[in-house]
Structure 1
Amino acid sequence: MNMRLIDDAWPTIGYTNGQGLQAARAKLEQVRGMHSAIAADQDQHAADGVLADGLLERALERCIQIHEGKGDLDSTDLAIFFHYANKAAEEAESMLQRELPHLIEI
């Protein structure tokens, strides 16, 4: 399982085009897979801690909703949710490198 969220595709989540939607969907699935992998290696509590207690997943879900035009959310909301997701992803990667380096694929 690839535990690196921030890659070349990551910034496109913040763009209001088809690439953003595609990247957000892919990263959401990756976060869910990471949660399962961390929980299997450690436990549910550890997985929740690394991935911001579900808030990273929720931020990506909101980015997807914005890209799909659901609700009354707009590009400003996309910027807010993407900014949060970016900070949470940075913290998750940092925590994995410090605490669970054996889970990171190089």
Structure 2
Amino acid sequence: TRNYKNEKTGVWEKRPYYTIEDSFPYGHGEKSVFLIERFMRLKTSEAVAIRWHMGGFDDAVKGGCYSISRAYEKYPLAVKLHLSDLESTYLREKGTSEVPHR
């Protein structure tokens, strides 16, 4: 458990938490492409789109990599997948893992 301050009461409480042990540290997008291609062939545009779907949140971009710009220029699908990922996360799911029922 981890200590957490309840904002309403001001009291510290113990809450369960989780950690992630990445047994295959290959990169989020790269790992997705690698795992998918074990079962089916991807087109180049699909592989690039999956690789760069995190956009500016990708660790390579945070580290100063400019390849994402070239990927987005050359493969419009990559831009579309990134935008749909943002829409899903921030507009539909509102930062949660729950999709609202319509």
**TM-score, normalization: structure 2?**
0.29
User: Which is greater in Rg?
Assistant: 2
| Higher relative contact order, structure no. (Cα contacts within 8 Å, ≥ 6 residues apart) | 1
**TM-score, normalization: structure 1?**
0.28
